Structure 1
Amino acid sequence: MIDEARRRAYLGAMQVVSWLPRVALPFAAPPRPELLEPLEPPAAPAAPVLRSDAELKVVPEVPPRQRPVERPKIEVPRPAARIEAPAVAASEGAVEPATPKAVPLPPPRFALQLLRAGRCALLVELPTGDSFQSRDPAYLLLKDLLRAAGLPDSPRPLGEPVRWPLLRSGSLDQGPQAAREYVQTFVAARLEEEACACLWLVGLPALRFAAAVEAEAYHRELRIEGLPPLWALPGLEALMEEPACKAELWRTMRRVRMRWISVNE
């Protein structure tokens, strides 16, 4: 036999809430006969107590809230919105790509002077942008070149220097193509007045905008329609700074100078 505590533990594990042994158990708690008595029936609900009219509180009747009279709305006729029909392509399913606008190139900056020395004309880059002075090192080198070529060493200018851009501001196109057309037209007009046997192009701007060539054309003879035979030379400053350019110039001059040496020599 087991004691009461372990018995309750077993019964709790088996989820037995109430139980009644058939015989008296040893070591059990004393019996409680009141647990076996039937429960009392529930009491009936109390009847409602009626009150007289005097005891009832009179609540004043609140009239319903009247809604404000709405004013009739006057609609002002408005013009109908214009609906634009989408543009119909010429052929169904064909979409024309947008043509990108050409961005104008910035105007180049240079200054050129056209000179005349004997039977030759010279389109020379002005290193400082101003006309040559008698004591300028670049001008003294140019005089040496003319003496070595058998030409007068005091060239005379043909017109004013060409300075580009022509205008500091404005909507006029002053890009490289416009500069090239201007320089070629300027030189051709001056040389129509006085024909020459050879045109020297001295400096990279002279090559670019009179003959549309780059530095690889140095020390070469060129042909451009509407102009006399051309001879491409480096700029005067480059000749002073690079002795190798000067040596190459002397070699090519021996061949090119035959174009302007007079028959009497």
Structure 2
Amino acid sequence: MISETRRRAYLDAMQVASWLPRTELPFAAPSRPELLQPLIDPEPEPAQPITAAATVAEGPAEQAPASTAPAVRPEKPQLRVVMPEPKKPEPVVAPEVPAEQQKPVEPPPRFALQLLRAGNVLLLVELPTGESFQSRDPAYILLKDLLRAARLPDKPQQVGDGEPIRWPLLHRGSLDQSGDAARDYVQGVLAGELEQMGCACLWLIGLPALRFAGEVEAEACYRELNIEGIGPALAMPGLEHLMEQPGSKARLWQAMRRSMPRWVVGLNTDMNDR
């Protein structure tokens, strides 16, 4: 037999918390009486059959305690806040414009003009091909004949960088390409050149030059104009028109003779000063 101290050490090592010896051990501590009671579960009581009479009889009895229980307060109904639906914006109806008042959308004008200088005359000439004049172009040869007849140098000089005035302008972003914008642009180029070096008269040759520099149509050809902010100008038909209709050259010569004193007198004065 081992001592009680060593026995408990063994049991603790085996993690045994409760144990009961089969026989009385010498030198052992007295056993606890609750450990000696048999570990037998009590038998459950047999269930009693439920009959209809018992159910009816027990009904009031079961309801009786319910009457003594504290009354349950009814839950307050929660208020729901209903937001009104947003009103849909009514479609804006554009006022109907009569068909006779509707202005058709016109495409931007397309033209190319060359700005030249011959003596004390400034020339704004429509380019028939859209490109700068070449020495062998029939239109350029006719222009040189007109300058010689007007007693002006027959080799006109290009103004600025020599690039034609083209429309529409090709720029990034939105840009007004209408006829009014083209007119302001052409007149602005002329005003800038006249500010640097004036002239005795401006020749407007071709319909685009008449429209966007002189604000006139083809009916104003063979006449002298006075353009606000620019000065006197001579309206002339296009070079191609003069080549196709030889009879128009006689009318142009008459108009040039009437306006010639403007640039011939100025030219003679410049030569006397030298």
- Which structure has more helix as a fraction of its residues? 2
Structure 1 residues 184-218: Cα deviation after superposition (integer angstroms, max 9, x where no partner): 00111011111100000000000000011000000
1:228 aligns with 2:228: no
Q: Deviations over 1:112-131 (max 9, x none)?
A: 01100001000000000000
Residues 215 and 206 (structure 1), Cα distance of their counterparts in 2 relative to 1, 3 Å cut:
same
- Name the SS of the counterpart of 1:111 in structure 2: strand
Aligned counterparts of 1:85 and 1:235: Cα–Cα separation in 2: 57
Q: Contact 1:221 / 1:229 at 8 angstroms: preserved in 2? A: yes
| Rounded Cα–Cα distance in structure 2 between residues aligned with 1:122 and 1:82 | 67
Amino acid at match of 2:197: E
2:252 aligned to 236, 249, 259, which one? 249
Distance across 2 between alignment mates of 1:222 and 1:230: 5
Tell me what 2:196 maps to.
193
1:215 matches 2:212? no
For 1:113, the aligned partner's letter is Q
Q: Does residue 86 of structure 2 align to residue 98 of structure 1? A: no
Equivalent residue letter for 2:139: A
Counterpart secondary structure, 2:117: strand
Would you say 1:112 and 2:109 are equivalent positions?
Answer: no
Give the unaligned 5+ runs of structure 1: 1-75, 87-95
**C-alpha displacement at 1:102, in angstroms?**
7.0
| Pair 1:206-2:209 in alignment | yes
Q: Give structure 2 stretches of 5+ with no counterpart.
A: 1-79
Within 2, Cα distance between the matches of 1:251 and 1:85? 69
Moved more, 153-162 or 108-117: 153-162
Say which SS state the counterpart of residue 112 (structure 2) adopts: strand
Residue 56 of structure 1 corresponds to which residue in structure 2? none
Q: Which residue of 1 aligns with 2:87?
A: 83
| In structure 2, C-alpha distance between the alignment counterparts of 1:239 and 1:168, rounded to whole Å | 35
Q: TM-score, normalised by structure 2?
A: 0.61
State the shift of 1:251 in Å.
1.2
Q: Give the secondary-structure state (helix, strand or coil) at the position aligned to 1:245.
A: helix
Aligned to 1:136: 137
CA separation of 1:99/1:246 partners in 2, compared to 1, >3 Å: closer, same or farther? same
Tell me the secondary structure at the aligned position of residue 247 of structure 1. helix
SS of aligned partner of 2:115: strand
**Which position in structure 1 is the counterpart of 2:36?**
none
1:172 to partner: Cα distance = 1.3
Q: Structure 2: how far apart are the matches of 1:128 and 1:179?
A: 19
For residues 120 and 163 of structure 1, the distance between their equivalents in structure 2, rounded to whole angstroms, comes to 22
Aligned residues: 182
Q: CA deviation at 1:83?
A: 3.3
Is the 1:123–1:200 Cα contact (8 Å) retained in structure 2?
yes
Give the letter for the 1:122 counterpart: L
TM-score by length of 1: 0.63
> What percent of counterpart residues are identical?
60
Aligned residues of 1:104 and 1:175 also touching (Cα < 8 A)? no
- State the shift of 1:85 in Å: 9.0
